[in-house]
């Protein structure tokens, strides 16, 4: 059974704090993704990685960075959290084969006060 796990289901942080969100997949997938989901805006891609130490910006990378030191782990970093980063964050992974299914983690709901 495929599995994508995220380090926290809920997080509450203060403005200016550095925030780490971690994602782990056990399917040996090459591609990993970070999205945020907000009411009325749908899923928006922040960053993705197609290999260890490789990353590409998505549609809304500002205010975020990522790290992929191992194939199974992809971290999203908020260098200095702001209230407009309050959102649901979703991690996903997929093989590099076109047309293969993308699997999502359970999500992390982040509240920045």
Partner 1 sequence: EDQVTQSPEALRLQEGESSSLNCSYTVSGLRGLFWYRQDPGKGPEFLFTLYSAGEEKEKERLKATLTKKESFLHITAPKPEDSATYLCAVQAAGSARQLTFGSGTQLTVLP
Nearer to partner 1, 4 or 112 (CB): 4
Which of 24, 29, 31, 75 touches partner 1 by CB under 8 A? Answer: 31
The distance between the two most distant Cα atoms of the chain, rounded to a whole number of Å, is 41
16 lies in the binding site for partner 1 (CB under 8 A)? no
34's CB contacts (< 8 A; 6+ apart) are 21, 23, 45, 46, 47, 48, 58, 64, 66, 74, 76, 89, 90, 91
Q: Which one of 12-20, 40-48, 61-69, 75-83 is the stretch in contact with partner 1 (CB under 8 A)?
A: 40-48
C-alpha 48/C-alpha 74 separation (Å) is 9
> Nearer to partner 1 by C-beta: 56 or 79?
56
Considering the rule CB under 8 A, would residue 53 count as an interface residue with partner 1? no
Degrees (nearest 5) of the Cα angle 42, 47, 49? Answer: 130
Does 104 sit near partner 1 (CB under 8 A)? yes
Residues that bind partner 1 (CB under 8 A): 4, 31, 33, 42-43, 45, 48, 50, 56, 58, 88, 90, 96, 98-107, 109
């Amino acid at each position: 059974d495929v599995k994508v796990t995220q380090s926290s289901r809920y997080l509450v942080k203060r403005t200016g704090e550095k925030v780490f969100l971690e994602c782990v997949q056990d399917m040996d997938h090459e591609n990993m993704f970070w999205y945020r989901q907000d009411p009325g805006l749908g899923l928006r891609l922040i960053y993705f990685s197609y290999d260890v130490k490789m990353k590409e910006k998505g549609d809304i990378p500002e205010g975020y960075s990522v790290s992929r030191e191992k194939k199974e782990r992809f971290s999203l970093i908020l260098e200095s959290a702001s209230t407009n980063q309050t959102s649901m964050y979703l991690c996903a992974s997929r093989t590099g084969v076109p047309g293969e299914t993308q699997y999502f983690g359970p999500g992390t709901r982040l509240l920045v006060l």
